[in-house]
Amino acid sequence: MNLELTAEQAALRDTTRRFLAEKAPISGHVRELLDDPTGLDEPVWRALADIGTTGLLVPEEHGGAGMTMVEAGVVAEELGAALHPGPWSSTAVAAARALTRLRGDDSAATILAGIADGTTIATVGFLDADNARVEVAGRDRHPVVRGEIAGVPDAAAADTLLVLARDQAGTGLFAVRTDSSGVSITAEPGIDQTRKRFGVGLDGAPAHRLATAPSDAVAAVVDDVLIAGAADALGAARAVMDLAVGYAKVRKQFGQVIGSFQAVQHLCVDMYETVELARSGVIHALWAADNAGAEERHLSALRAKGFAGRLASVGDTAIQVFGGIGYTWEHDAHLYLKRLLSWSGLLGGPDRYLTELGARLAKRGQQ
């Protein structure tokens, strides 16, 4: 495992960072999409595809870059730092990994090619099994699906929804066009306006079976999404920490910059420690997603998610450094805090993951 970025990965980071600063800044892009029902700006999405970010995890034979989760994590961190609101994670990570890990048919290959060139926006509706109830009806050659799924990310922006359902051949991965008859999409309220989530109703919606969905491959996709989410949150925490530290260096009270006060210094050190601890866990998890065994990969995802509560505290601490200005709508600090809180709540709070992590480690120690 390499703890330092290669020259190619650093170039990918710099290109993504420069693109977001120029084409999708917080003031002129992110804030304008906060109340948009889709959170999508089509020209920006196509431009992201043009610089290769949507096809990072798509195999080369389907027009992608055939890279690893490490490269995807590089991009995810920059998107988090820029509070980017588009469906990149749903499409470029969740959908791409679902289609590759479950080894879909020719139709899956077509979807992957569309993801790579930016013409397809896809999302996954099976991440939270407790809130996804879908069944297959109709004839084998012309299946339709029925059910309800809660908390589907970016469903209003997506043209393709990937769901799990059981038919005569077992549990399978199905693709549903979101503009099909029998598909309804309803916005769900959430704390983070840069992360849109929706309830999806399926009432006899036409579907296409793409692949068989073994439970271990599905679990791997969920781990991939958690790991990419941790990289996004790392970027958001780093960015708001940098803003707070920069503010502490110039804001004066009682004739001195507030960064000279020990209480403020402690807050800044606490943020830095938390961000760097998270960074080591994220780097390992990104590496493990492609290179480690199933157990180590899953443990790394559990650690990243279990640390989510502490990472979210960076946004809260930054607002303390900013003082009164940090509570205003005009300041970006609250947007970062909301992004971090949404990561903390993704697929359940940190306590659930810490409990599972502790149980697995205790069992390993007994062996």
CA-CA distances (angstroms) from residue 283 to 53, 121, 137, 195?
19, 27, 43, 23
Pairing of strands 183-188, 252-253: unpaired
Q: 181 with 241, same domain?
A: no
Phi and psi at residue 232, to the nearest 5°: -60, -45
Q: 127 with 167, same domain?
A: yes
| Count of alpha carbons within 13 angstroms of residue 4, beta-carbon side | 2
Q: 232 with 355, same domain?
A: yes
**pLDDT beyond 80 at 1:** no
CATH of residue 349's domain is: 1.20.140.10
Nearest to 154 by CA among 125, 191, 177: 125
On whether residue 78 sits in a domain, the answer given is: yes
Q: 240 with 293, same domain?
A: yes
CATH of residue 175's domain is: 2.40.110.10
| 82-108 confidence digits (pLDDT tens) | 999 999 999 999 999 999 999 988 899
| Final residue before a domain boundary, out of 121, 156, 188 | 121
Per the structure, the complete domain to which residue 28 belongs is given by 7-121
pLDDT of the residue at 140: 64
CA-CA distances (angstroms) from residue 96 to 70, 120, 254?
15, 11, 54
On whether residue 1 sits in a domain, the answer given is: no
The answer for residues whose C-beta is within 8 angstroms of residue 286's C-beta and 6 or more apart is 68, 69, 70, 72, 73, 227, 231
On whether residue 2 sits in a domain, the answer given is: no
Nearest to 236 by CA among 331, 329, 338: 338
Burial of 108 (0-12, 13-18, 19+ CB in 10 A): buried
On whether residue 128 sits in a domain, the answer given is: yes
| 207-223 confidence digits (pLDDT tens) | 999 999 999 999 999 99
On whether residue 283 sits in a domain, the answer given is: yes
Structure tokens at 311: 């990472």
pTM above 0.85, yes or no: yes
Q: Quick one: which H or E segment has residue 173?
A: strand 170-177
| Average pLDDT score over the chain | 94
| Final residue before a domain boundary, out of 67, 94, 121 | 121
Count structural domains, the chain.
3
Q: 102 with 129, same domain?
A: no
